[in-house]
């Protein structure tokens, strides 16, 4: 029960903090953005210092007074150091890399230190994601990579960015919530299965031999027992070149099409996942392939750029393309 209320309170505080500032590509932390509050250990530390102070007042003991004042002074100094460990830090959103649904997208941020400042034990994370720790000591800037799991295809934002620190003693927590304008593209989750219908070549350019066949003459080979007599090279035999057989091959078009009309028994998301699986498979096989979706046609091609173009079309099918 306590944990549930704590989460609700934290979510409300996060929404309130984010409403105060619009999403931005780059921003610098100032006193208007930084929040600071004692940790559980800090509250117990403060409570112990106050108890010692009360004991000193009760017994009028100067040594007890001194101990309590030292502890309270240490707590006040920790407030200044914890706040300074975030103040002046500039965060710039750089880039986001696409991923498949269910995997983690990579986001790159640039941390730039304030003038003549060091930052230690910084922790950064997206909402409900694992934190990443970093320091800026004798470095003016540092690149940090954060990860967030994609839950649906298309363009999506990782949510609010939390930056916090407990430096130097862990008695206080200084933090801030930021809304960046980073967004990542999530491709459909590949779904293995199905077969590509035969005869999907474009018939325009390029072909590849598909093994022994009966269409085109490919050369001569030594005749072996069991071969068809119709393939015997009689002209070469008459010329005294020995017994050979003619070799024929069938040619299959190297270009393939991935079409929306395949697998009509599947719903929209399953069909996109199946097309994504075959896109990745054909890309690994270095086969030229194209894509046909309702309102979209991508000519056959190969390579990383072509694969991204096809996967992008699958990811944004029926979604906003921005």
* Cβ pair 90, 180 in contact under 8 A: no
Percent of the chain with pLDDT over 70: 76
Query: Which pLDDT does position 117 carry in this prediction?
Result: 83
Closest to 253 measured CA to CA, from 289, 297, 291: 289
pLDDT digits (tens, 9 = 90+) for 36-49: 999 999 999 999 99
pLDDT digits (tens, 9 = 90+) for 206-227: 343 344 444 455 566 666 665 6
Q: Which residues contact 28 (CB under 8 A, 6 or more apart)?
A: 88, 89, 90, 91, 114
Mean pLDDT of 231-243: 69
Q: Quick check: 202 pLDDT over 90?
A: no
Give the residue with greater pLDDT, 230 vs 280: 280
pLDDT band at 314 (very low <50, low <70, confident <90, very high): very high
Query: Which pLDDT does position 14 carry in this prediction?
Result: 66
Q: Which residues contact 6 (CB under 8 A, 6 or more apart)?
A: none
pLDDT digits (tens, 9 = 90+) for 68-115: 999 999 999 999 999 999 998 999 989 899 999 988 889 999 999 877
Q: Delimit the domains of the chain by residue range.
A: 2-187, 207-225+232-315
């Amino acid at each position: 029960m306590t944990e549930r209320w704590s989460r609700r309170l934290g979510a409300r505080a996060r929404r309130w903090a984010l409403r105060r500032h619009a999403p931005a590509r780059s921003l610098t932390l100032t006193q208007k953005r930084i929040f600071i509050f004692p940790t559980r250990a800090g509250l117990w530390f403060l409570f112990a210092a106050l108890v010692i102070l009360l004991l000193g007042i009760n017994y009028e003991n100067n040594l007890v007074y001194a101990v309590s004042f030292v502890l309270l002074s240490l707590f006040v100094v920790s407030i200044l150091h914890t706040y300074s460990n975030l103040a002046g830090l500039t965060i710039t959103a750089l880039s986001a890399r696409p991923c498949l649904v269910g995997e983690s997208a990579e986001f790159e941020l640039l941390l730039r230190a304030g003038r003549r400042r060091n930052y230690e034990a910084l922790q950064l994370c997206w909402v409900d994601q694992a934190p990443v720790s970093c320091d800026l000591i004798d470095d003016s800037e540092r690149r940090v990579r954060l990860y967030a799991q994609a839950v649906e295809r298309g363009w999506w934002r990782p949510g609010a960015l939390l930056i916090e620190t407990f430096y130097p003693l862990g008695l206080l927590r200084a933090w801030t919530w930021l809304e960046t304008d980073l967004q990542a593209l999530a491709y459909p989750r590949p779904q293995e299965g199905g077969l590509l219908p035969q005869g999907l070549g474009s018939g325009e350019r390029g072909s590849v031999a598909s093994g022994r066949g009966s269409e085109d003459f490919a050369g001569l080979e030594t005749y072996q027992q069991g071969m068809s007599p119709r393939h015997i090279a009689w002209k070469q035999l008459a010329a005294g070149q020995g017994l050979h057989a003619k070799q024929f091959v069938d040619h299959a078009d190297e270009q393939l099409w991935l079409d929306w009309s395949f697998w009509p028994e599947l719903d929209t998301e399953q069909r996109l996942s199946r097309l994504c699986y075959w896109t990745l498979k054909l890309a690994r096989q270095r086969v030229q392939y194209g894509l046909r979706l309702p309102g979209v046609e991508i000519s056959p091609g190969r390579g990383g750029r072509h694969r991204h173009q096809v996967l992008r079309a699958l990811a944004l099918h029926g979604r906003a393309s921005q």
